[in-house]
Structure 1
């Protein structure tokens, strides 16, 4: 069954947050987030695998999501990353408007910035 836009946005957000903060979650939270948001398991499949109730899986996932959002609200790494990428993209588009003979050093700098993120 295809995801609606809200569900897809939530999945993408959780996956991005997990990329930044996943290592700060408990092992169980990491496992459940991976199963549900990355491997597309249902609550029932996760519950059967770990021999717990669907409600327990749901509660573990909700808690893990909240922890990820709390880290982001305190540290802001995902937001900062987005702003940096937007700035690099703007820089690259401005470089493209320069005369060809001026582009090389700026292109190299933009490439260094992109590789550093």
Structure 2
């Protein structure tokens, strides 16, 4: 399950950098959960060709993340926004109610933009 989520995130961030053919095959495998045989039959290529293309796409997407770190940054910003939201909801702090509401609004907007 974790691998599928990782593949989905990689594709969401970097999928547009793949060719149209690569995107079609990768989406069929990852999002549509099609078998290698189904993808091969639908696209007129061998199962081995499908397997190799999916592997190449995965390696390409991972190399983009290794260089650009967009997913890592996304997750760090999201964690900080969640922490801000939690802090703004903590009534045990000596924070002004107006400031608390502003923080909650800002953190909510950040989280909404990220998702």
Q: Name the TM-score, length of structure 2 as normaliser.
A: 0.89
- For 1:91, the equivalent position in structure 2 comes to 84
Aligned to 2:109: 112
1:4 is aligned to none
Aligned to 1:19: 12
Matched, 1:73 2:66: yes
Q: Deviation of residue 56 (structure 1)?
A: 0.3
Q: TM (normalized to structure 1)?
A: 0.87
Report the CA distance between 1:88 and its aligned residue.
Answer: 0.7
The CA distance in 2 between the partners of 1:58 and 1:33, in whole Å, is 10
Provide the C-alpha distance between the structure 2 equivalents of 1:108 and 1:18, rounded to a whole number of angstroms. 30
Q: Deviations over 1:23-59 (max 9, x none)?
A: 0001111011100000010000000101111000000
Q: Deviations over 1:57-95 (max 9, x none)?
A: 000000000000000000000111011111111111111
RMSD value, Cα? 1.4
Alignment of 1:46 onto 2:39? yes
**What secondary structure, in the 3-state scheme, does the structure 1 residue paired with 2:45 have?**
coil
Q: Where do 5+ consecutive residues of structure 2 fail to align?
A: none
| Aligned pairs, number | 110
Structure 1 Cα separation of the partners of residues 39 and 96 of structure 2: 56
Q: Out of 82-91 and 100-109, give the one that drifted further.
A: 100-109
CA displacement at 1:109 relative to structure 2:
1.7
